[in-house]
Structure 1
Amino acid sequence: MTQEIIFAGFGGQGILSMGKFLAYAGMDANLNVSWLPSYGPEMRGGTANCSVILSLDPIGSPIVTNPNTVVIMNRPSLDKFEKQMVEGGLLIMDSDLVTRDCDREDLEVIKIPAQREAEKLGSKKIANMILLGALVKKTGVVSMEELLAALKAHGKEKFYEANKAALEKGAEYVI
């Protein structure tokens, strides 16, 4: 079992945080883990992405060229990463911010209105966690319990309950 995942969007959307918490959960689950952030020089508002690899086997390189899963929070990221995905891959996107449909028919696509759902929960800042909750529920790469434990151990305590609610909301979008 190896999952190669790319999280992508604008700086300030919590793109790197999504990957970081998933990587921590993977480490806590005794998986081999790689987390590689990438962002433009402008930081907040510029493009940002990170690659996460979770595997039972040793990881030879942190570079993800053909991801199994991509989590998208803006259209430029869809334009960039959709073509790179493996056949049959999983694409999770914030349908409130991505202004076009996926062009590929060989991908499984989960569209979540993450901005609206996050606003209902009290803050648009947790939209990223809604998407992460869907990813964990769909792939089972780590359990929700392992992710919540990582969030509690490595996140800020004052945001734990809001993030937990967001993860659970995202999981509801997965059948």
Structure 2
Amino acid sequence: MTVKSIFAGFGGQGVLLMGYTLALTAMNEGKEVTYLPSYGAEVRGGTANCTVVVSDQPIASPVASSPDIIVVMNNPSLLRFANIVRPGGMVLINEDLVRDQIGRDDVKIIKAPVNSIAHDLGEDRSANVVMLGAMAQATGVVGLDALKEALAATGLGKKAKVLELNRRALDAGADHVRRLAAKES
């Protein structure tokens, strides 16, 4: 099983950190991983995206020209990446910042108000972690518990208080996806 994903947003949203944390978690689970970050020269406020490929087999290329999953944190990212996700793939959308419609009916769309959820948790900067929890729950690419453990090795968990907050943010994102799934069934 090989899963190609792209995380996209603007600099400062923690997009690259989302991809890095996913890659680290997958490695900790014994999977093959590539992580390819990309960002504009202006960084904060500019565009940022990264590609993460997770597989149980060796990976031939880190490029995801037709990804299985895209995670979009802002409107320009939706416009740029919506048409490259493969049919049958998944698009996770930060519905607090993305207003445009994807215009496709051949992909699964999951909308999450990650900025609002992070704000309710008391830390607006954890919106990326909320989205990462939603992505993990929706896709099963990595386990939520493994993701929580990997946080400790990133800037998202160097301090005990920050680690606990971000673990709650992961749970909040996963809970949102569980509630959506319960409504669908």
Q: Could you state the TM-score of these two structures normalised by the residue count of structure 2?
A: 0.92
Instruction: Give the match's secondary structure for 2:82.
Output: helix
Partner of 1:157: 158
Map residues 22-41 of structure 1 onto 2, 5 A cutoff.
22-41=22-41
Map residues 91-106 of structure 1 onto 2, 5 A cutoff.
91-106=91-106
- Counterpart check, 1:171 vs 2:165: no
| Separation (CA, whole Å) in 1 of partners of 2:56 and 2:111 | 29
| Separation (CA, whole Å) in 2 of partners of 1:57 and 1:14 | 28
Cα shift readout 1:82-107 (whole Å, capped 9, x = no counterpart): 00000011100110100112110111
- Counterpart check, 1:82 vs 2:82: yes
Q: Which AA in structure 1 matches 2:106?
A: D
1:123 Cα deviation (Å)? 1.4
Instruction: Give the match's secondary structure for 1:37.
Output: strand
| Separation (CA, whole Å) in 2 of partners of 1:106 and 1:143 | 26
Q: Which AA in structure 2 matches 1:74?
A: N
1:142 Cα deviation (Å)? 1.1
1:154 Cα deviation (Å)? 3.1
Map residues 99-138 of structure 1 onto 2, 5 A cutoff.
99-138=99-138
Structure 2 residue runs of 5 or longer lacking an equivalent are none
Q: Which AA in structure 2 matches 1:18?
A: M
Q: Which AA in structure 2 matches 1:157?
A: K
Q: Which AA in structure 2 matches 1:16?
A: L
| Separation (CA, whole Å) in 1 of partners of 2:102 and 2:16 | 23
Cα shift readout 1:61-96 (whole Å, capped 9, x = no counterpart): 111111100000011100010000000111001101
Two-structure CA RMSD over aligned residues (Å): 0.9
Cα shift readout 1:31-74 (whole Å, capped 9, x = no counterpart): 00000000000000000000000000111111111110000001
| Separation (CA, whole Å) in 2 of partners of 1:136 and 1:96 | 19
| Separation (CA, whole Å) in 1 of partners of 2:114 and 2:170 | 11
Instruction: Give the match's secondary structure for 2:21.
Output: helix
Task: Quote the sequence identity (%).
Answer: 46
Moved more, 39-48 or 133-142: 133-142
1:169 Cα deviation (Å)? 0.5
Structure 1 residue runs of 5 or longer lacking an equivalent are none
Report how many aligned residue pairs link the two structures: 175
Q: Which AA in structure 1 matches 2:174?
A: A
| Separation (CA, whole Å) in 1 of partners of 2:154 and 2:115 | 24
Q: Which AA in structure 1 matches 2:169?
A: A
